[in-house]
Structure 1
């Protein structure tokens, strides 16, 4: 551009050339005047003290503060400022036009996200900003170095904390919930460095706001008020909505444990739903009052875990290998009360890999839960606790989705009574959703509906389909907020962290 201007001016008279050269010099000087901390602060605040700030001394102050103070993300901060010569880069970028005041406003609005109003130390940040921004707040050069360094690092901490919290949540559920096995994303160094390198504060603050329909409905419900327990339930679920997982709703089987419901997702939308029965909980819907004191998660032994996996196959007319815990606590009691219980229920007794003939002849009174040398296996049939089909996916809790002969349980409002697996009311519909029309589904359908005694049959699902067992007690259901009973008491474990 400057060369073009020169060519034009050379065609003019000498006096114009002189003025033109002067214009070019001013333009070049203006282009080369980088924004520096002394210029930014003195222009923005009108405080003359800032004109005498020297970059090297301020850099030393920032460096010393990072090294001496106990910062949450100290390594990230040190790396960022080291690469920038420990300049007050955030103040230089965001102090003009009152942009940092916008950050202070966002920090003050923590309650809109269900967080304690002091969560981001908004009052302290505002006070630090006002002190540095005021025309007569800082009254000496020594104070300027101290307070500007403090505001710079407070801005860095606020940006990282605010962005990380809204994008990933306050807590990592894997650390506070005993049976939470979904991999939850956390803010890493790349995310934090991108936050600090951002050039547009307004765009940054907007980009980290959760924008799902569920999150925004929860926010609106929180504004509407209501009793304290309801508001606290909403706050907990806002936190859940901030947790990030790899979930593909293009084809997904999603179970919400406290809703006692399974949803079949296709192309991001619910294509079908059915009732479920889930594992026995701690209070089964009798919600207790919330406490601000942190409590340790103490799950019932039969609670359904929270996890994500892939359904890889089904077993039609399944065999139930009865877990030792159920054998010792329940099966033994039944057979001690009725020695024909096992044969009537189609249960084999196995010792050293061999099926025991005529188990009713054993002296069951001589055994106890701690002294039981047998395994138990229920054969396929109408009495089988798994019904006609079970849906298998890898997990470390030995749980799966399955049919059940105990259909009456689906008529209850609170359906938390299984040993941990998830019973589904319409297993054939679930199989159809997974396999679609074709030979495999027709085989499944034929075996399930047959009156003949069938052997167990394993059928592979390809491609595999994601299954998520989740726990959400307040959700957006067709545009309306629905609150479910906190059957496992997990809301009370999460709430004190907010």
Structure 2
């Protein structure tokens, strides 16, 4: 007869004090005092501690299955129909099945179970949209980010507030990037449905002055992708060169205007692959759905850059070198706060580098790596001649190694500290030539800056009337000295292979560590699919 009959004839339901949520309801006299609705609701809710506590506090009164709850139901079900826009697993909530369940409910028991089913879907959707579908630490060892999830009871409390629509609207990240990623997702799905990027441009390298069918194919592809106005010419002219340069800039390639093998590989990347990057980027945005700080440092690993952001605007950017693409040297992803810069730093060689790289050399030649000091547990410099390196292993080597301040110090002349358990920080480097490379993954995990002095000036300008003079005065002493930042600066080490530029255009980068591929597979396993829509 449908649930509407129950909603229009429902009477107050007695609550039995002996009713518990952690065990099956007792039979006979107690169950006789409990309505079928309350009994089925309590049993279904007992599977989730937070939901059970929520209904117990409400004396098992419903929030979804009364005649007066129609607006609340409609608001929530309407939100679920848009779950696919966010790249969420729509079948986890399944708005269509929930709507059908309301039509199919025949008994008070059906209604009680449906009440909990709606609440379970609400909790899943709210947490997924706010904080992400996945636990990043379970996907890749380099994803050490702490995700800020709301407490379940806090989320459920929103069901008792008047403005449910406002609560739902505020769950997703409010950053401009998130909205632009959603727009890009919709656009790519339209491209995939219509095939409007057309045929690939071929694989033969082309450069200005070329002509023929290969140039036409390249031109047609760039026209379809929005980088070039439509034209019938077969020549690799100045307009095509500018279009190739614009494409290269948007994809992290050297903007020389030559369609070489790397550029053509990116041009020929199908929209389905770009959509994967967008879906992963949406999930990553949800992982950092928090106050990022009015001023913060943003290090995007696949972009090989470090930026200072002030009130949402980029105020400084420099090239960066990141960790090598080997298991124990990839730069991890996390957020922390920069507290200190050290000018003329010494370098305390990490234990792993000391034992894996230098100890074998010292066994062969005690004078190897002569630019480094051998220090004991008390920090005192030890003469190499007094150490029998041959008797030690990586496990029992009792010494550390340190490089004193100098122009050739591995950390260069300044480092920026945000203390963390992975010993990751930003620093200068004497190896300046590496910043000229397109792919800059060479470090042991720390982030080297192409313009470290300018980065320091930008940080100090908030607390010094003469930041350049202050920095240079300390630098000229040649002595190691720390400078505390009066206001700590949040640092976000992120990994976006898809992100919008300043004017909203999408930028794409290569998945250098393979993390996006792992995240995408985990999203697929969780039920996220390309083109997911909920009717």
> Do they superpose with TM above 0.5?
yes
Q: Secondary structure in 1 aligned to 2:448?
A: strand
**Deviation at residue 402 of structure 1 after TM alignment:** 0.6
Pick from 123, 126, 129 the counterpart of residue 166 of structure 1.
129
Q: What is the aligned partner in structure 2 of residue 278 from structure 1?
A: 322
**Deviation at residue 447 of structure 1 after TM alignment:** 4.6
**Deviation at residue 53 of structure 1 after TM alignment:** 4.4
User: What pairs with 1:254-265 in structure 2 (closer than 5 Å)?
Assistant: 254-265=298-309
- Rounded to whole Å, the distance in 2 between the matches of 1:83 and 1:351 is 61
The answer as to 2:104 corresponding to 1:131 is: yes
Q: What is the aligned partner in structure 2 of residue 288 from structure 1?
A: none
**Is this contact kept in 1: 2:133–2:283, CA < 8 A?**
yes
- Rounded to whole Å, the distance in 2 between the matches of 1:209 and 1:466 is 21
**Deviation at residue 92 of structure 1 after TM alignment:** 2.6
- Rounded to whole Å, the distance in 1 between the matches of 2:277 and 2:8 is 52
- Rounded to whole Å, the distance in 2 between the matches of 1:93 and 1:444 is 69
- Rounded to whole Å, the distance in 2 between the matches of 1:399 and 1:210 is 27
- Rounded to whole Å, the distance in 1 between the matches of 2:104 and 2:168 is 23
Q: What is the aligned partner in structure 2 of residue 88 from structure 1?
A: 62
Q: Secondary structure in 2 aligned to 1:467?
A: strand
Q: Which has the larger radius of gyration?
A: 1
- Rounded to whole Å, the distance in 1 between the matches of 2:145 and 2:342 is 25
CA offsets 1:410-456 (integer angstroms, 9 cap, x no match): 122222221111111111111111111446642422454x5x8x222
User: What pairs with 1:15-34 in structure 2 (closer than 5 Å)?
Assistant: none
The answer as to 2:176 corresponding to 1:213 is: yes
Pick from 410, 426, 436 the counterpart of residue 411 of structure 1.
436
Q: Secondary structure in 2 aligned to 1:56?
A: coil
- Rounded to whole Å, the distance in 2 between the matches of 1:215 and 1:94 is 35
The answer as to 2:225 corresponding to 1:252 is: no
Q: Secondary structure in 2 aligned to 1:91?
A: coil
**Is this contact kept in 2: 1:93–1:199, CA < 8 A?**
no
The answer as to 2:80 corresponding to 1:107 is: yes
**Deviation at residue 189 of structure 1 after TM alignment:** 3.8
User: What pairs with 1:257-406 in structure 2 (closer than 5 Å)?
Assistant: 257-282=301-326, 300-334=327-361, 341-343=368-370, 346-351=371-376, 353=378, 354-357=380-383, 359=384, 369-370=394-395, 372-406=397-431
**Deviation at residue 202 of structure 1 after TM alignment:** 3.9
CA 1:462–1:210: 2 relative to 1, 3 Å: closer
- Rounded to whole Å, the distance in 2 between the matches of 1:88 and 1:351 is 68
Q: What is the aligned partner in structure 1 of residue 36 from structure 2?
A: 61
Q: What is the aligned partner in structure 2 of residue 458 from structure 1?
A: 482
TM-score, structure 2 normalization: 0.70
**Deviation at residue 239 of structure 1 after TM alignment:** 1.2
- Rounded to whole Å, the distance in 2 between the matches of 1:92 and 1:279 is 57
**Deviation at residue 386 of structure 1 after TM alignment:** 0.4
Q: Secondary structure in 2 aligned to 1:313?
A: strand
Moved more, 397-406 or 166-175: 166-175
**Is this contact kept in 2: 1:254–1:468, CA < 8 A?**
yes
TM-score, structure 1 normalization: 0.74
Pick from 484, 491, 495 the counterpart of residue 516 of structure 2.
491
Q: What is the aligned partner in structure 1 of residue 285 from structure 2?
A: 241
- Rounded to whole Å, the distance in 1 between the matches of 2:140 and 2:45 is 28
Pick from 126, 141, 146 the counterpart of residue 109 of structure 2.
146
What are the ranges of 5 or more consecutive residues in structure 1 without an aligned counterpart? 1-37, 133-142, 283-299
**Is this contact kept in 2: 1:311–1:391, CA < 8 A?**
yes
- Rounded to whole Å, the distance in 1 between the matches of 2:424 and 2:70 is 57
CA offsets 1:31-56 (integer angstroms, 9 cap, x no match): xxxxxxx9xx88xx5x5x76554442
**Deviation at residue 487 of structure 1 after TM alignment:** 2.8
- Rounded to whole Å, the distance in 2 between the matches of 1:94 and 1:229 is 46
CA offsets 1:292-327 (integer angstroms, 9 cap, x no match): xxxxxxxx2222232322222222111111112111
CA 1:57–1:323: 2 relative to 1, 3 Å: same
**Is this contact kept in 1: 2:44–2:113, CA < 8 A?**
no
Q: What is the aligned partner in structure 1 of residue 273 from structure 2?
A: 229
CA 1:211–1:464: 2 relative to 1, 3 Å: closer
What are the ranges of 5 or more consecutive residues in structure 2 without an aligned counterpart? 16-33, 190-269, 527-535
- Rounded to whole Å, the distance in 1 between the matches of 2:9 and 2:489 is 65
**Is this contact kept in 2: 1:303–1:419, CA < 8 A?**
yes
Q: Secondary structure in 2 aligned to 1:275?
A: strand
- Rounded to whole Å, the distance in 1 between the matches of 2:494 and 2:46 is 34
- Rounded to whole Å, the distance in 1 between the matches of 2:53 and 2:363 is 68
